[in-house]
Structure 1
Amino acid sequence: MKTTQHTADELVAILRLQHVPNIGDVLAKKLISHCGSPTAIFEDKKQNLLKIDGIGTHTIKHLFDLEHLEAAEAEFNYITKNDIECTYFLDDHYPKYLKHCIDGPILLFKKGNIDLAQRKIISVVGTRKITSYGTAFCEQFIEDVAPLDPVIISGFAYGVDVCIQREAIKHGLQTVGCLAHGLNQIYPKVHAKYQAEVLKNGGFYTEFWSTSNPERENFLKRNRVIAGISEA
């Protein structure tokens, strides 16, 4: 497992925090900042956590429920077995622009050969029902920006997304698909045939666990990562 910066206990604590209802990325970061680390949160007393501004009884009602620890351990085992790299929001290799987003994921799961360091990063998304004009635009756009050697970020969805990523690969550019589900599947399934190409020329990011399916609300959450990760 490529999680050299974190012990198993630390990663399980991060996952455990992710699994608690009512605690999103903003509140999670507030708790981590106050306590010093994810593991410290679960070593603290509930009455101390209630003193944190914005943290109420309702928010941490289920924080110490063992079901979240059990779920975190199960996901940790999946990550370990499948050689998934985990990128914590305070890590050096966490996408630098996404660090500036207050609601950026506290943890990103990563597969492939993604390298965003010292690179220009462009996100491109669009309609799922791409026209011949849209296809021509994607081809011309990638041809125009290729000399800059940017990383092309998209959602690996139907239409513009997969078109721009395939054009990036044709021109030898790195491309990253941000997914709205866990790394145990590809949606839409028909795009599985392009998965190996993307992994070879970049890879995939997701904030979603292996237990997550491509639900409608996940795509809305995913979009903030696509936007936040890039310069343009």
Structure 2
Amino acid sequence: MGDNQNLYEVAITQIPGIGPQLTRQLVSYCGSPLGVFHAPPGKLQKIPGIGPVAYKNLTQGTKQALLQAEEILKQAEQHEVQLLFYTSPKYPDRLKQIADAPILLYFRGNGNLNQKRIISIVGTRQVSNYGQSVTEKIVADLAPYNVLIVSGLAYGIDIISHRAALQAGLPTIGVMASGPEIMYPAVHRKYAERMLTQGGLLTENTFGTKPDAPRFPARNRIIAGMSDCTIVVEAALKSGTLITADLAHGYDKEVMAVPGNITSAVSEGPNHLIKNHKAAIYTSVQDLIELLNWDLEDETNARKQKSLNFSPNDYTIDELKVLNLLVQTQDEHMDNISWKTQIPVSLLASVLLTLEFKGMIKAMPGKRFGLIR
């Protein structure tokens, strides 16, 4: 079923003229990509947004789309690429919230695209010594906060950000403008390969896609959309970096900029963003912490953790296993609780029921259970 589902998820992205918003509309009305392919023509015609061209493509282009999807699945297996449809739990939740988010992502690596804290760092390819040292300091200062660093794998600020993250032990994701198997620029391959075991590589482009110029602005919306804040270090006044900042601003994401020397061309971009109130000023990691309220968040979590020190006198060993797991994950499916605590399902049902009676957990739809705060 999983493979069959993946086939139709990929295939729907191969139908000409069916963009992200229309795909979501189709899946919403038909229940799944599989449902779209098997929907009666009369039902398709009634779905809002389906005009004559889209209807023709949906009724006549599905066979070719399925053949293309089969080839993509084969290549994904060959190159160890994960195909993340927008309904996948692994798909970046932050990115999913923007209207023009990709329907399908190609991901290589082991990083968590839904990590609690994600920061994008972007800037010029023509980086100065100041820009390099500032970027390295930003990443080093973020190390205690377990941040995922996102950038574009390009020359300059991008690769400095990735390299600094690798050195600091932070996961880092490179968002590419090419297909998942094409490394661009090739000179960064050694860093990209390290990132596969400490983050990963992400793209919306299918196999064989060359990194043509128009794909870079499209790539930038992923960088902006999947993070909590985009930090601009150095950039010219007219540059792809400022496009990324504008996109983040348009998505109601936080944007920060590092002020620079007023006589430097690569400082014009960040200084412009600060001057026009499109970015908060970054002078130290404390500015970022306060902007995103990480200090308050950590304080609240510490209080919660302190209040959730369960006494062994009040609970059995199995009950403590379940409670401590739910402190970490908030809520879990019953099967996952069984697997993670190594409590057999036959025994777990009784443990969960007892904890419900004690007023510690609550049953949720879909056999999920969560702590009562």
Compute the TM-score of the two structures, normalised by the length of structure 2. Answer: 0.58
Is 1:122 aligned to 2:119, yes or no? yes
One-letter code of the match for 2:68?
A: A
Of the three residues 88, 93, 99, the one matched with 1:91 is 88
Superposed displacement of residue 200, structure 1: 1.9
Partner of 1:166: 163
Alignment check: 8 A CA contact 2:172 2:198 kept: yes
User: 2:356 maps to which residue?
Assistant: none
CA distance in 2 between counterparts of 1:129 and 1:20 reads: 40
Structure with more contact order per residue of length (Cα contacts < 8 Å, sep ≥ 6):
1
1:213 to 210, 213, 220: 210
User: What is the aligned partner in structure 1 of residue 45 from structure 2?
Assistant: 50
Distance 1:122 1:14 in 2: 29
**3-state DSSP of counterpart to 2:220:** helix
Counterpart code for 1:42: F
Displacement after TM superposition at 1:21 (Å): 2.0
Q: Tell me the distance in 2 between the aligned counterparts of 1:45 and 1:220.
A: 38
1:69-97 CA-to-partner distances (Å, cap 9, x unmatched) read 22111111111223222222122222121
- Answering whether residue 17 of structure 2 is matched by residue 26 of structure 1, we say no
What SS does structure 2 have at the residue aligned with 1:19? coil
Identity %: 37
| Counterpart residue number, 2:55 | 60
Gaps in structure 1 of 5+ consecutive residues: 1-5
5 Å matches for 1:59-208? Answer: 59-63=54-58, 64-65=60-61, 66-208=63-205
* Cα distance, 1:118 vs structure 2: 4.7
Unmatched 5+ residue regions in structure 2? 230-373
The correspondence for 1:35, drawn from 25, 30, 33, is 30
Distance 1:69 1:116 in 2: 28
Q: Distance in 1 between matches of 2:81 and 2:203?
A: 11
Question: Hey, what's the Cα distance between the residues in 1 that align with 2:30 and 2:179?
Answer: 29
Letter in 1 for 2:35: A
Aligned twin of 1:231: 228
Match of 1:3 in 2: none
Count of residue correspondences: 227
Contact 2:182 2:208 in 1 (8 A): no
Q: 1:150 is aligned with what amino acid?
A: V
Q: How far does the alpha carbon of each residue in 1:158-205 deviate from its partner, in whole angstroms, 9 at most, with x for none?
A: 111111110111111110011112111101111112122211211111
